[in-house]
Amino acid sequence: MPRPPLASWGQLPAVPAAHERWLSDRAAPLPAVAGSVLAYGNGRSYGDVGLNSGATLLHTRGMDRFIAFDEATGVLTCEAGVLLAEILDVFVPRGWFLPVTPGTRFVTVGGAIANDVHSKNHHRAGSFGGHVRRFELLRSDGSRRVCAPGENAEWFAATIGGLGLTGLITWVELSLKPISGVGITVASTRFTGLDEFFAVNTEAEARHEYTVAWIDCLAPTVRGIFMAGDHSAGQGQAAAARKALNFPLTPPFSLVNGLTLRAFNQAYYNRPVPAMSVVHYAPFFYPLDGILHWNRLYGRQGFYQYQFVLPMAARAALADVLRSISTSGQGSFLAVLKTFGDLSSPGLLSFPMPGVTLALDFPNRGAPTRALFDRLDAIVGEAGGRLYPAKDARMSGEFFRRSYPRLNEFLPFVDAKFSSDFARRVLL
Ligand SMILES: Cc1cc2nc3c(=O)[nH]c(=O)nc-3n(C[C@H](O)[C@H](O)[C@H](O)COP(=O)(O)OP(=O)(O)OC[C@H]3O[C@@H](n4cnc5c(N)ncnc54)[C@H](O)[C@@H]3O)c2cc1C
């Protein structure tokens, strides 16, 4: 039996769920319980979209069966609790890959839909929901609906990026994409300053399927490493064979502080960066999956991830955000910078929009950390941007409602029996 989740990926102190139910039969009705329920995938959301304090969590990992696969088209039907890692293990050797994958493969298909996750190929492929052909939605009144762009389309749009609030997704039909091998050809380059980032990025997006940059926001002038990748027939096997390390316990205090951050960022920036290399897909897409439970490094108070997107026309506000972070003295490693392309997301509440997105991790230092986020919210909000619910644990309801303009279209589809800490914080 899995250990009850007491907190989400950010390990922020949280009230546990009062009850947990483990689902394994996709044809079974929802368990009859008092109070609200919420699907729990694999707990890789940083904040509280996957938490339901004092109520019931429905664990979906037991719904982990592959149902059908069409070798000719790459269309896979599977249960919603299947992990992206399980899809990769079975289908990469057969020449198929995920059309869109987040930065960890330990997420369920249901969780990937509920947050309409994005990847390093947003400029070419859009978000995860754009590759979902159909799914079944089970509601608390016992009704089951097959939802697709051409069938129950309004339910489809509400459930993709719907934060688990429209009901339980039981099975999913997803288009995989053909690949030539397990390798990724990676072109890497260092850059200094945001203007150089945007110049390198524009050129790279025209030629490469995957683009992303890591930035050191602690340096006096922003600097970083830009990576552009494409699937390759090359092997890059060595890295894949490496066994994942485990961070065994949660220390009482954060091991991440000004000193460790500065040292890490300096070392990362100065590491040898080959202009061109072929690596296995795993270290390219999932560098953090190599250390299991790396989130424990932040200690018992946990950490926040702050991820926002700004419309391209307001990209100048990015410099203001970085300046505020630098002035606050609260740094971040693993600041990931990426642009979103023009492909529109299918979900009413999908996070991506054309623009630039930045994700930063901050140890939870309490009031000073929250005060910094309030200042960042003001800049992001003023610029017409928004925060990513999958990473959030503290944005105000007012900010959420203002920055997700299709919220009123979404609300009629919320199942009255489904709720989450996030929903109670931002919707009520
Ligand atoms: C290291 C790391 C890197 C990441 N990188 C990215 C990235 O690059 N891009 C990105 O977009 N995200 C990224 N994420 C966030 C992650 O992809 C999402 O939070 C994802 O939704 C987590 O899926 P999960 O299965 O763990 O779901 P959970 O976190 O358990 O749940 C997430 C939401 O899905 C709902 N849900 C789960 N299953 C179902 C179901 N069957 N039916 C209905 N609702 C359901 C839950 O109720 C909840 O609202 C990253 C997370 C980590 C830890």
Considering the chain, what percentage of its residues have pLDDT values greater than 90?
76
Asked if the model's pLDDT at residue 188 lies above 70, the reply is: yes
pLDDT value of position 246: 66
Is the confidence at residue 310, as pLDDT, over 70? yes
CATH topology of domain 183-395: Alpha-Beta Plaits (3.30.70)
**How far is the centre of ligand 1, averaged over its atoms, from the C-alpha of 112 (Å)?**
5
Residue nearest to atom 11 of ligand 1 (CA): 117
3-state per-residue secondary structure call for 56-92: EEEECCCCCCEEEEECCCCEEEEECCCEHHHHHHHHH
pLDDT of amino acid 107: 98
- 324 pLDDT higher than 50: yes
Please tell me the total number of residues recorded for the chain in this structure. 428
How high is the pLDDT of residue 397?
98
Q: How far is the CA of 195 from the centre of ligand 1 (A)?
A: 32
Distance CA 290, CA 240 (A): 9
Task: Transcribe 154-223 into DSSP letters.
Answer: HHHHHHTT-TT-S-EEEEEEEE-EE-S-SEEEEEEEEEESHHHHHHHHHHHHHH-SEEEEEEETTSSS-E
Per-residue DSSP letter, 348:
T
Ligand 1 atom with the shortest distance to the CA of 49: 49
Q: How far apart are CA 101 and CA 175, in angstroms?
A: 13
Band (pLDDT 50/70/90 cuts) for residue 240 is very low
| Contacts of residue 362, Cβ cutoff 8 Å, sequence gap at least 6 | 303, 304, 305, 306, 330, 332, 369, 372
Question: Per-residue pLDDT tens for 246-288?
Answer: 656 666 666 667 667 777 777 777 777 788 899 999 999 998 8
Q: Could you give the C-alpha distances from 2 to 47, 295, 314, in angstroms and in order?
A: 20, 18, 45
Q: Is the CB of 44 within 6 Å of ligand 1?
A: yes
Q: What's the burial of 301, exposed, middle or buried (CB within 10 Å: 0-12/13-18/19+)? A: middle
Question: What pLDDT is recorded for position 1?
Answer: 46
Kindly report, residue by residue over 104-130, the tens digit of the pLDDT.
Answer: 999 999 999 999 999 999 999 999 999
Tens digit of each residue's pLDDT (9 = 90 or more) over 202-216: 999 999 999 999 998
Residue type, position 291, single letter: I
Rounded Cα–Cα distance for residues 254 and 227 (Å): 29
Structure-block tokens of residue 278? 């072929």
Residue 171 one-letter amino acid: W
Ligand 1 centre and the CA of 369: distance in Å? 24
Residue 338 scores a pLDDT above 60: yes
Q: Is the CB of 132 under 6 A from ligand 1?
A: no
Q: What is the CATH number of domain 66-179?
A: 3.30.465.10
Q: How far is the CA of 16 from the centre of ligand 1 (A)?
A: 18
Q: What is the pLDDT of residues 60-96, one digit of tens each?
A: 999 999 999 999 999 999 999 999 999 999 999 999 9
Q: What DSSP state is assigned to residue 2?
A: P
Helix (H) or strand (E) holding 106: none
Residue 268 CA to ligand 1 centre (angstroms): 27
The DSSP call for residue 289 is G
Residue 6 has pLDDT above 80, yes or no: no
- Closest ligand 1 atom number to CA of residue 109: 25
Mean pLDDT computed over 224-238: 84
Atom of ligand 1 nearest to the CA of 294: 1
Cβ atoms of residues 94 and 125 within 8 Å: no
| CB 42 near ligand 1, within 6 Å | yes
Q: Where in the chain is the domain with CATH 3.30.465.10?
A: 66-179
Please tell me the distance from the alpha carbon of residue 110 to that of residue 230, in angstroms, as a whole number: 27
Residues of the chain with CATH 3.30.70.2520: 183-395
| pLDDT, position 113 | 98
